[in-house]
Amino acid sequence: MTEQDKTNYQRIEAAIGYIKDNFKTQPSLDTVAEKMHLSPFHFQRLFTEWAGVSPKKFLQYISIDHAKTMLNNQATLQDAAFETGFSGTGRLHDLFIRIEGMTPGEYKNGGESLTITYSFADTPFGNIIVGATPKGICHISFADNAEEGLIALQQAFPNASFQQATNNTQLNVLDIFTHNWSKLDEIKLHLKGTSFQIKVWETLLKIPAGRLATYGSIAKQIQQPTAARAVGSAIGDNPVAFLIPCHRVIQSTGKFGQYHWGSNRKTAIIGWEAAHTNPDAQK
């Protein structure tokens, strides 16, 4: 990602923050462009290049009413085995990505004897750090600051050894940011978590791109309907950003709520996914 790309994303992120805070007034293109100190023409072009849809269409995707619509659609899709996805083939996360929990010893000793390779990469939503063991991806985090991103990975596995390198597992993960899900069957996750956390994370993988779920619905799916708060904690502890789509879980009111890597980034991802999975997105 070039410096210009980073600047452009920062502008779009700021615009999304403004739209999110003011969606009830349905701000016009001119109003948002003025807030971003850009001409309406330049802002429209920049936003459409980034999101694939106009600011007006994107506003629809992040409004409360549309969020509730996506929630309703999600409910009906559960019985249809979550048959949506970027590829349009009906092949889903849960059919391809497998989670292998770390052994009790690996979990307890903070990754001792594990060798974790890590690399940094650019995505439409900022820089990420990707960590992998020989068994699969163990960590993905948005890392606007590379040094802080590496420290967070090291803190998650304080006794592991680390090597900066890029392998095929990491490259396959990056394909999901370009709508290429053809290599999902080659992605495996190797995660440190309690059995409850892993059960929640596995359930998140079943939420299709462009759809949303609530904390309560996740609790029901794992057959613990009174555990919505515990589900929220497990979601907040998700170690694999974007690939395990904790960003697709929102409040039952339709409000998007908080996100470990920033609420504006969460809103951006939700809108971007909705835009790219909705056949009417370009209309």
Dihedrals phi, psi of 213, to nearest 5 degrees: -135, 165
Query: For this structure, is 246 an active site residue?
Result: yes
Cα–Cα distance measured from residue 145 to residue 131, given in angstroms and rounded to the nearest whole number: 16
Q: Where are the alpha helices (DSSP H) in the chain?
A: 3-22, 29-35, 40-51, 55-61, 64-78, 93-96, 104-108, 146-156, 168-174, 195-204, 215-221, 228-236, 263-277
Q: Using only C-alpha atoms, what is the Rg of the chain?
A: 19
Which of 140, 153, 205, 246 does the annotation list as catalytic? Answer: 246
For the record, the structure tokens of 277 come out as 């999975």
Q: Taking the C-alpha atoms of 5, 8, 13 and 17 in order, what is their torsion angle to the nearest 10 degrees? A: 180
Output the 3-class SS for 255-278: CCCCCCCCHHHHHHHHHHHHHHHC
Cα–Cα distance measured from residue 109 to residue 101, given in angstroms and rounded to the nearest whole number: 14
How do strand 213-214 and strand 188-191 relate by DSSP bridges? unpaired
Cα–Cα distance measured from residue 197 to residue 106, given in angstroms and rounded to the nearest whole number: 16
How do strand 213-214 and strand 249-250 relate by DSSP bridges? parallel
What's the number of CA atoms in the CB half-sphere (13 Å) around residue 222?
Answer: 25
Q: In a 3-state reduction of DSSP, which class is residue 21? A: helix
> Which of 118, 136, 135 has the alpha carbon at shortest distance from 127?
118
Catalytically annotated residues: 246
